[in-house]
A and B are shown apart, each in its own frame.
Chain A
């Protein structure tokens, strides 16, 4: 398995501001994912971040709102831009490998509250 850390663990932000969430993995991984879990909802994939290429966004998520960086095989950032209260959620990064024999491992999450 992989050990994943996220910063910050939680934050309270004002409407209209932006927050960058960092995800650090203790080993080199090809695929990193960013998820959102809104209150009472399932985990929803925002985007897949592969090193050396642009992130691939899921339907309903756009790069201008959620820019992602993946500078190397152990690190990624997700920025929540121009925040509104609807962005209040838990944001999780996860890592996985191409083989479906292996599962995804999740970080502890970042709890975001937008006022």
Chain B
């Protein structure tokens, strides 16, 4: 049973427009949520995170929104650039009992069209 779900395997957006990547989760015990970006033949790179006690975190062009009641988070990229084309993974952290485990979604491939 997948605890973190990214239901859109791919997304295409015009350069300059907004990209919205969505993520749903089932475990209400998650403490933190993170977004990673992955280019082909490279490891995932941390992008932005949000604590479960917040509903928004912004870093430059990237903003993550968290709706705890809906168990839903989204990553907004504004404006989108061709270099943003990559696979984006949503991940959730549960730090109970001293552990620190990331649970990943399957990823969404973003294509930004020039």
Contact = CB atoms under 8 A, between A and B. Distances in A.
Nearest to B98: A98
**Chain A interface, >50% SS class:** strand
Contacts of B31: 100
Given A41-B106, A42-B104, A96-B100, A103 B45 contact: no
Interface of A: 1, 4, 31, 33, 40-45, 48, 92, 94, 96, 98, 100, 103-109, 111
A110 B104 CA distance: 19
A44 B45 CA distance: 16
Interface residues of B, number: 27
Interface string B90-107: 010101001111111111
Contacts of B42: 108-109
Contacts of A48: 99, 101
Given A4-B43, A104-B46, A109-B42, A40 B100 contact: no
Given A42-B106, A45-B103, A100-B95, 12 more contacts: A1-B46, A42-B104, A43-B89, A44-B104, A45-B102, A98-B98, A100-B100, A103-B46, A104-B46, A106-B43, A108-B42, A109-B43
A103 B34 contact: yes
Contacts of A31: 100
Given A42-B107, A43-B89, A106 B44 contact: yes
A82 to B, nearest CB: 26
B32 interface: yes
Given A42-B104, A45-B102, A100-B31, A106 B89 contact: no
